[in-house]
Amino acid sequence: MSWVVLLAAAVAVLGAIGVVRSRIPVHSVLALVLNLLALAALFIALNAEFMGLVQIIVYAGAVMVLFLFVVSLLGPRREAIERELSLLPGQEPLGVAMGVLFFIALLVAVVRQAFPAPQAVHGGFGTVRAFGAALFYEHVLVLQLAALLLMVAVVGVVVLIARRDQGR
Amino acid sequence: MPGMAVEGYVVLSALLFVIGLIGVLVRRSPLVMLMSIEVMWGAASLLFLTFARMWAAMDGHVFTFMIVAVGAAEAAVGLALIVLIFRSRHKADVDDVRALRG
Amino acid sequence: MENGYWLLALIPGLPLVGAAVTAAARNRWGKPALAGTASTMVGLAFLVTVAALVRYLDLGGGALELSLWSWGPAGVGLGLLGDAVSLWFLLVVTGVGLLIHIYASAYMADDPGYGRFFAELNYFIFAMSLLVLADGFLGMLIGWANVGLASYLLIGFWNQRDAAAAASRKAFWVNTAGEVGLILAMAIIWNAFGSLRFADVLPQAGQADPEVLNAIALLLLVGAVAKSAQLPLHVWLPDAMQGPTPVSALIHAATMVTAGVYLAVRAFPLFEAAPVGMTAVAVVGVASALFGAVVAVGQNDIKRVLAFSTMSQVGYMILGAGVGAYSAALFHFMTHAFFKALLFLGAGIVIHHFHGEQDIRRMGGLGRQLPFAYWTFLIGTLALIGVPPLSGFFSKDEIVVALLETGHPWLWALAVAAAGLTAFYMTRLFCLVFTGPAPNAGARGRAAKEAAAARETEAVAYWNPAPGVHPLKAVPVLLLTVLSAVAGLLSVPGLTAVPEEFLGRVLGHYGAVPAAAAAVAPEQAKTLTIAVLLGVAAVAMLLGVRLYGPSRRAAGRPMPLEAALAHGFYFDDLYRAVFVRPLRGLAAYVGQVIDPQVVDGAVNGIARLAGTLAVGLRHLHGGYVRRYALALMAGTAVIVLYFVLL
């Protein structure tokens, strides 16, 4: 058991809690970046080097920049709405209680399940080469679907955001 | 298994997932809800990679790749929707968006 | 067995097309086109029937079959079956139907509902031919119900008259009661035999449980009794005379009321196999024959006399079927169709002559004014009474002889009594209408009579066999007169036996019912029966002429039991007291108490409950996405816990 892994796990949990708890949107974004970086470390510890790097580049880099853009667009101040009276009485304690219940259920499921010992991996497991072979030889359709999905998302965003009156 | 046992990774994943879930349920800012969802995506990715390592198979990696793509697309569309809501209401509270009311 | 003989489909199909066309064009076409279309369709159906008959005779054995539709397992479906029995009926239905169409084209000439009348008449021919052509109980029931509807429409043809509307409702209700019996019988048949087709059910009729067979036979009998106006469900037939006279002739004398006879003959293996089946049929038949004859004596409406006479004569047919004399019953059906249609059409001429007057006490002396009506009506009357060599003599005689041969002396005696009464009431009817002094018509009546006579002779410039009668009325009457006179020659004892041979292909010769030990030898039975029948008829006729002839001895004197007879022994009042009034009371109670309090209360209560629930449940459906997410997650947690812990 390596202390790096434990540290990364602790940071990931703390980051997640920070996302949920912080009152200021910018703090949430930064906590999320922390969470994603810790996850990337865990990925690499799991021999998933390429996915760890993708996590850093795509999520912590590109997606988080997107979030920051939106936050700065909307104003980085604390959002006033969070202080108003909630319209849904008891939503917060109920949500937490349900979440805990759900976690207990998952925990029981994990405890009851006997996991086999991990198999030995060859030297190239999780590298770009192995990932590329899996993606392009076995799961070409996934690649196509991902491409299509991203394109639909881009077109959808443009359609959503474009102001109708700008063509005039 | 490097670092810790499989159970440790699975429990960590479950914990991250539940935290993200609680964030979706408790927070009213759509931006924070979106970020909580990102946390849940990360938990799912971690689980996939854990089992990929356990079975020494690359399919889990491909799935994680798919999750990253879906997460990016979801973030883009979700942020676009938030911007739209702000544009029309000048504040963002999911409880104000009640078109689903019967 | 010849399958796929598609011409069979034309027999019901052509009148159906005719009905649709005339109904659609009833306000656009002229009267000749409407009547022509309808009559042509029935005429073509008659020709097709003849063609099918020729084909059937060529086949030797077996029947013509055409499957129209089948569903699921064998035994349910609609097919046509042309065998001796159904072709025998079809000849009468389409043949007499054609003649009555022609007659009606003149009789109804002044009616504003001309096109509707012919559409409904064609529809009736369609339904009736479907009834007799169907190859199973299902198809027969479809025809049966359609015939009932056609009868309802035509009885209530003059629907602006309250009496006609009430009569049509009554007929429909009684017939529906019969249909319930028929449907129940079909359900039991399906349960016992696994099929509704005649070809599957009838050959194995004897294998079922006797109790089950009893139930089937009695329920079938309920259907037959209702449709054929037999005791005790006869009450609709006299009222049905509210319909136009051609309708009375075609539906309520010649064809539809004999559907019960058709059913009894068609399903005879079921009746024979059932321990009480045959006895019940025979008892109903003889009771109706006697009852109808007795009541007919006391009736004063010309059409009601004929209606009770019809009930009585159909009773003879049912009686014949009840002792196994099937071919005799069907032979009587055919001759009766001829002479009873003739009598009704003649009555139509008489009624027109007296400008709608139907009370025979206010008629008289028609013999000198309308010799054509006099002679044709006389032939019809004598045929009905059973005077040799006219048709009624041979056919009625055959049934009555069969009673003695199969060892039923009591039934024989009752049937003979009914025959005597028949002779008496028909003589009374004839004498009152055609002999004696003409009624004293006022100046207005005389002028109207002259106008009517002028109209009748107007169209008659070229050729007219009957002065004072429209030729389109005269020709059918003339043809029916000839048929009434000579149809009996089909079955002269010892010489010809056409009905027995032809129908025997399907029915076998009667004898399936074992003759009782005391049965009289056939030859003796014949001689005795003929002698007694003729003697009784002669005495009754003499009495009738003495009482009601030109001298009118009995005209003013009250008849014994007059009120009871005139009211048909109060059956209507009985039913009114037993069924109608309690049901009305029940309906009123339901309408005033149960409906507002229980039904409306339940409905309003449900509405209130829904409202209360909605107020409570509204919170679940507030449109708050986070609430939905919470509920979703709670559900997921519970499901996961369920699977993890159990």
What residue in B sits closest to C637 (Cα-Cα)? B18
Q: How far is residue C557's CA from residue A4's CA, in Å, rounded to a whole number? A: 131
pLDDT of C260 above 70: yes
B97/A contact by beta carbon, under 8 A? no
Q: How far is residue C473's CA from residue C475's CA, in Å, rounded to a whole number? A: 6
Specify the pLDDT at position C303: 85
pLDDT in tens, A106-163: 888 888 888 888 888 877 888 888 899 989 988 898 899 999 999 999 999 988 888 7
Chains A–B, number of C-beta pairs less than 8 Å apart: 254
CA distance B25 to chain C (A): 6
Can you tell me which residue has the tokens 């309003």? C604
pLDDT of C377 above 50: yes
pLDDT in tens, C151-192: 888 888 887 888 888 888 888 888 888 888 899 988 888 888
Specify the pLDDT at position C560: 62
Q: Considering chain C, what percentage of its residues have pLDDT values greater than 70? A: 85
pLDDT in tens, A48-102: 889 999 999 988 888 888 888 888 877 655 554 555 556 677 788 888 988 998 9
Average pLDDT over residues C402-412: 81
pLDDT in tens, C428-448: 888 888 877 766 655 455 555
Calculate the CA B51 to chain-centre distance: 19
Q: Which residues contact C597 (CB under 8 A, 6 or more apart)?
A: none
Average pLDDT over residues C59-85: 75
What integer best gives the mean pLDDT of chain C?
Answer: 80
pLDDT of C620 above 70: no
Specify the pLDDT at position B13: 94
Residue A87: its chain C contacts at CB < 8 A? 624
Beta-sheet pairing, C77-82 with C64-70: antiparallel
Residue B64: its chain A contacts at CB < 8 A? 48, 51
Q: Considering chain A, what percentage of its residues have pLDDT values greater than 90? A: 28
- The verdict on a CB contact (< 8 Å) between B101 and C622 is yes
- The verdict on a CB contact (< 8 Å) between C622 and B99 is no
Average pLDDT over residues C369-374: 79
Specify the pLDDT at position A165: 61
The two tokens of residue B42 are: 């990360």
Indicate the SS3 state at residue C78: strand
pLDDT of C412 above 80: yes
Average pLDDT over residues C34-54: 88
Indicate the SS3 state at residue C66: strand
DSSP string, C568-589: GGGHHHHHIIIIIHHHHHHHHH
List the chains bordering chain C where 3 or more Cβ pairs fall under 8 Å: A, B
Residue A94: its chain C contacts at CB < 8 A? 630
pLDDT of C489 above 50: yes
The two tokens of residue C492 are: 């002269």
DSSP string, chain B: --SS-HHHHHHHHHHHHHHHHHHHHH---HHHHHHHHHHHHHHHHHHHHHHHHHHT-SHHHHHHHHHHHHHHHHHHHHHHHHHHHHHHHSS--GGG--TT--
What residue in C sits closest to A108 (Cα-Cα)? C644
Specify the pLDDT at position C513: 44
Q: How far is residue C515's CA from residue A13's CA, in Å, rounded to a whole number? A: 105
> Higher model confidence: residue C635 or residue C3?
C635
Q: Is the pTM of this model over 0.90?
A: no
A146/B contact by beta carbon, under 8 A? yes
> Higher model confidence: residue C318 or residue C529?
C318
B58/C contact by beta carbon, under 8 A? no
Q: CA C121, C251, C184 angle in degrees (round to 5)?
A: 105
pLDDT in tens, C107-146: 887 778 888 888 888 999 999 999 998 888 888 898 999 9
CA distance B54 to chain A (A): 4
pLDDT of C355 above 50: yes
Q: How confident is the model at residue C512 (pLDDT cuts 50, 70, 90)?
A: very low
- The verdict on a CB contact (< 8 Å) between A106 and B70 is no
Partner residue facing C626 (CB), from A88, A99, A102:
A88
Can you tell me which residue has the tokens 């029995």? C85
How far, CA to CA in Å, does B26 sit from each of A19, B19, B94, C306? 12, 10, 11, 92
pLDDT of B12 above 90: yes
**Burial group, residue C542, by CB count within 10 angstroms (0-12, 13-18, 19+):** middle
pLDDT of C642 above 80: yes
Which ipTM did the prediction report? Answer: 0.88
pLDDT of C415 above 80: yes
Specify the pLDDT at position C566: 67
Where do runs of H (alpha helix) occur along C549-645? 562-566, 571-575, 581-589, 600-617, 625-645
A81/C contact by beta carbon, under 8 A? no
- The verdict on a CB contact (< 8 Å) between A36 and B42 is yes
For residues C75 and C200, the answer to whether their CB atoms sit within 8 Å is yes
3-state helix, strand, coil in chain C (%, to 5): 75, 5, 20
- The verdict on a CB contact (< 8 Å) between C633 and A106 is no
3-state secondary structure C237-282: HHHHCCCCHHHHHHHHHHCHHHHHHHHHHHCHHHHHHCCCHHHHHH
For residues C342 and C329, the answer to whether their CB atoms sit within 8 Å is no
Specify the pLDDT at position C554: 57
The two tokens of residue C566 are: 């005139």
Q: How far is residue C182's CA from residue C357's CA, in Å, rounded to a whole number? A: 39
- The verdict on a CB contact (< 8 Å) between C640 and A105 is yes
- The verdict on a CB contact (< 8 Å) between B25 and C630 is yes
